[in-house]
């Protein structure tokens, strides 16, 4: 096996760099949520993703294919001859080929799972795979900026210098249920058998002589038992952000004359600031404004959500019966105006039908790029619609944020709970 055989051509040098900088190492026992979390974090941050366990599983699959004993001395020789290709693009899902044969669907079988610990315990196999992993990590950090790597000894052996090390755990019962769902096991006896198999795997992994499963001293332990996958990913995004590992491309603001604006407004230059605009997620109340050439339109939206850090994407919904839809759908860009606690009346006005929402007392102006923006709002995003979907009685718009500005800090935002109310969360 060589590093060039491990990395799919989907992530060769020269690819665009994502938001993540450096290495995130995710370790933990089986069924703790490593793969789901690692892939989700990589997708969200535009990073590469390496499932190191898939390499060992691919070797174990080949051992079974050739009728060898997982404990036998021939395993190391076989591993050295294999041609293994694993995609590191998280958007593709897991794609693994062994000697030209696609095998990812078979790597989670009970037979492979039972053979993996023995195969991975061979010192020669493990050291060879370790070197491949290090080469892959170095190459992808250089070409893409960052990579999320998951396994059992990443933070302790493979990448001890990782900027963020996380050790995922979950209760034995929860892990058994997750693995049972994965394997299609539905009976009580079957689930208990899966549970016992996981505990045996834990014992072998923790007690093997070479690279045992262990939490790195500086790793953050995250118990995923009662957390959704999205909550776990969000936790890791926060941890990476706290360590300065996430970057967003800055879009310097310009004044009316096209020169840089050095006024009191603040440009968002990090995911921490970007994400602070979306603490309420789908509950945040905003006003969407746009102009396709026939005059400004605007409407109050209670469904704004951030859906990605890299690229920074937002989504909002608009009723199919709304008169402003024609303009919004034709506009090349829109403005998302965030509202503070003293702007309830603006939220109500832009939710009222059959009125000129931009007439007095509404105060508004145009950005240098031409879009209408409400005066006095604490923050706004300028976004370019990327996709539009029909969703029942609503249109759903996904837009890419190209400029983000904070004008006033530390103000309560408005949230919708049957009526426009003030939240304690502040911007």
Q: Is 32 known as a binding-site position?
A: yes
CB 355 within 8 A of CB 421: no
User: Can you tell me the distance from the alpha carbon of 125 to that of 153, in angstroms, rounded to the nearest whole number?
Assistant: 14
What tokens does 94 get?
Answer: 């897991």
Q: Which two three-digit tokens encode residue 218?
A: 């500086």
Question: Peptide bond preceding 391: is omega within 30 degrees of 0, i.e. cis?
Answer: no
Is position 73 annotated in a ligand binding site?
Answer: no
36 among annotated binding-site residues: yes
Q: How far, in Å, CA of 150 to CA of 35, rounded?
A: 7
Structure tokens belonging to residue 71: 């404990």
256 appears as a binding residue in the annotation: no
280 marked as part of a ligand binding site: no
Task: Establish whether 29 is an annotated binding residue.
Answer: yes
28 carries a ligand binding annotation:
yes
Counting other chains too, the contacts that 71-79 makes at CB distance below 8 Å and 24 or more residues apart are: 71/118, 75/119, 75/122, 75/125, 76/122, 76/124, 76/125, 76/128, 79/1, 79/122, 79/124, 79/125, 79/128, 79/129
φ, ψ of residue 325 to 5 degrees: the values are -60, -40
> Between β-strands 379-391 and 394-406, what pairing exists: parallel, antiparallel or unpaired?
antiparallel
Is 109 among the annotated ligand-binding positions?
no
Q: Is 31 annotated as a binding residue?
A: yes
Please state the residue numbers annotated as binding site. Answer: 28-36
Annotated binding site for ATP: 28-36
């Amino acid at each position: 096996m060589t590093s060039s055989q491990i990395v799919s051509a989907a992530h060769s040098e020269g690819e665009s760099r994502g938001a993540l900088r450096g290495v995130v190492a995710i370790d933990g026992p089986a069924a703790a949520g490593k793969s789901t979390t690692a892939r989700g974090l990589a997708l969200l941050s535009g990073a590469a993703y390496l499932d190191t366990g898939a390499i060992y599983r691919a070797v174990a699959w080949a051992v079974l294919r050739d009728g060898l004993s997982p404990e036998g001395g021939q395993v190391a020789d076989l591993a050295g001859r294999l041609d293994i290709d694993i995609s590191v693009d998280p958007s593709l899902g897991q794609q693994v080929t062994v000697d030209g044969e696609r095998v990812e669907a078979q790597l989670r079988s009970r037979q492979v799972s039972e053979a993996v610990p023995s195969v991975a315990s061979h010192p020669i196999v493990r050291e060879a795979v370790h070197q491949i992993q290090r080469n892959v990590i170095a190459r992808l950090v250089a070409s893409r900026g960052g990579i999320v790597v998951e396994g059992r000894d990443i933070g302790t052996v493979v990448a001890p210098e990782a900027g963020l090390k996380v050790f995922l755990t979950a209760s034995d019962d929860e892990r058994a249920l997750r693995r049972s769902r994965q394997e299609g096991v539905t009976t009580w006896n079957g689930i208990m058998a899966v549970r016992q198999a996981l505990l045996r795997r834990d014992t072998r992994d923790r007690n093997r002589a070479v690279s045992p499963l262990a939490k790195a001293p500086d790793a953050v332990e995250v118990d995923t038992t009662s957390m959704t996958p999205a909550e776990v990913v969000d936790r890791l995004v926060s941890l990476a952000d706290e360590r300065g590992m996430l970057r967003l491309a800055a879009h310097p603001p310009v004044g009316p004359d096209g020169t840089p604006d050095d006024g009191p407004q603040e440009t968002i230059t990090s995911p921490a600031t970007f994400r602070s605009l979306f603490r309420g997620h789908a509950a945040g109340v905003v006003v969407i404004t746009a102009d396709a050439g026939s005059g400004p339109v605007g409407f109050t939206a209670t469904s704004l959500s951030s859906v990605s850090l890299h690229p920074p994407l937002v989504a909002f919904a608009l009723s199919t019966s709304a008169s402003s839809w024609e303009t919004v759908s034709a506009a090349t860009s829109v403005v998302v105006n965030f509202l503070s606690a003293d702007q309830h009346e603006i939220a109500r006005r832009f939710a009222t039908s059959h009125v000129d929402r931009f007439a007095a007392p509404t105060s508004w102006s145009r950005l240098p790029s031409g879009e209408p923006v409400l005066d006095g709002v604490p923050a706004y995003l300028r976004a370019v619609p990327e996709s539009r979907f029909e969703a029942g009685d609503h249109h759903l718009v996904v837009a890419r944020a190209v400029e983000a500005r904070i004008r006033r800090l530390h103000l309560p935002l408005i949230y919708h709970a049957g009526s426009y109310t003030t939240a304690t969360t502040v911007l």
